[in-house]
């Protein structure tokens, strides 16, 4: 049985199974388990080899070895050290790999076989022709480019909604910075997002006009405060570059 370059580990089982063991015994046990898996389930019971890998004396390893055997963590089988769970895991893996090889072999053998016709008088079936003409890839949400500027037709969209040119230019900068800074700044359809953005700004402007004394309500004030804070944070970030 070949050793493994990696294997399933069960941290909880190891922690719970080594409760009460001394620190050096736990560390040695972990390394010995790695060696057992690397050796395919049977680690040569060579005190010099194992103590060299552990970085301890042969006498120290023999003392640790005796304690691990007493704790039923490792077992001696002739000239080898074993761990029953490691052997079981390796055997299960070997069976799984063998099954996968058999399945792959059977698939390759049958892949070139054609299904026989039921009657010799039946005509050969016509090959199926796909009627799906939609070959476009699924759209992905994207952010606005760093050098993005407002297209002329988008500017006209904002004018049609009722925004002033100066407001449109200001909001174009706002939506670009928002796209870069917000976790939700990636969109599938940016033109639709721009229309929604402009309609919201239009409603805000209309609410301002309805309040000649400048009072716009607690909710509107919070919205403006958040927008101001975002703009200020963006300006500070730019200045630090």
Beta bridge partners of 82: 75
User: Given this model, what pLDDT does residue 226 score?
Assistant: 72
Q: Radius of gyration (Cα) for the chain, nearest Å?
A: 36
Q: In the chain, which residue ranges form alpha helices assigned H by DSSP?
A: 11-17, 23-38, 47-54, 58-70, 84-110, 152-161, 165-181, 190-209, 218-240
User: Which residue is listed with tokens 């294997």?
Assistant: 7
- Distance of alpha carbon 76 from its chain centroid, rounded? 42
Q: What is the CATH number of domain 11-87?
A: 1.10.10.10
CATH 1.10.10.10 domain position(s) in the chain = 11-87
Does the pTM surpass 0.85? The reply is: no
Residue 56 has pLDDT above 90, yes or no: yes
Band (pLDDT 50/70/90 cuts) for residue 131 is very low
Mean pLDDT in residue range 144-155: 93
Residue 52 vs residues 46, 63, 68, 82, 213: alpha-carbon distances, Å: 10, 15, 18, 19, 85
pLDDT at position 133 over 50? no
Quote the pLDDT of residue 91: 83
> What percent of the chain clears pLDDT 90, i.e. is strictly above it?
46
Residue 190 DSSP code: H
- Compute φ and ψ for 27, nearest 5 degrees: -65, -45
Residues with Cβ within 8 Å of 75's Cβ and at least 6 positions away in sequence, in order, are 69, 81, 82, 83, 84
């Amino acid at each position: 049985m070949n050793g493994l370059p990696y294997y399933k580990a069960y941290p909880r089982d190891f922690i719970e199974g080594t409760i009460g063991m001394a620190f050096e015994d736990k560390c040695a046990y972990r390394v010995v388990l790695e060696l057992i898996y690397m050796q395919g389930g049977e680690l040569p019971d060579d005190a010099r080899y194992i103590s060299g890998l552990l970085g301890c004396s042969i006498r120290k390893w023999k003392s640790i070895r005796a304690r691990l055997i007493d704790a039923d963590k490792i077992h001696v089988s002739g000239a080898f050290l074993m761990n029953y769970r490691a052997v079981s895991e390796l055997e299960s893996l070997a069976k799984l790999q063998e099954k996968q090889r058999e399945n792959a072999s059977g698939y390759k053998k049958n892949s070139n076989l054609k299904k026989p016709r039921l009657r010799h008088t039946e005509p050969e079936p016509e090959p199926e022709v796909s009627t799906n003409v939609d070959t476009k890839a699924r759209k992905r949400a994207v952010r606005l480019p760093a050098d993005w500027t407002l297209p002329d037709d988008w500017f006209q969209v904002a004018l049609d909604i009722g925004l002033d040119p100066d407001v449109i230019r200001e909001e174009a900068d706002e939506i670009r910075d928002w796209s870069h800074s917000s976790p939700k700044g990636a969109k599938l359809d940016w033109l639709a997002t721009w229309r929604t953005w402009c309609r919201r700004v239009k409603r805000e402007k209309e609410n301002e006009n309805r309040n000649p004394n400048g009072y716009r309500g607690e909710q509107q004030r919070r919205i403006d405060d958040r927008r101001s804070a975002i703009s200020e944070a963006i300006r500070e970030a730019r200045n630090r570059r």
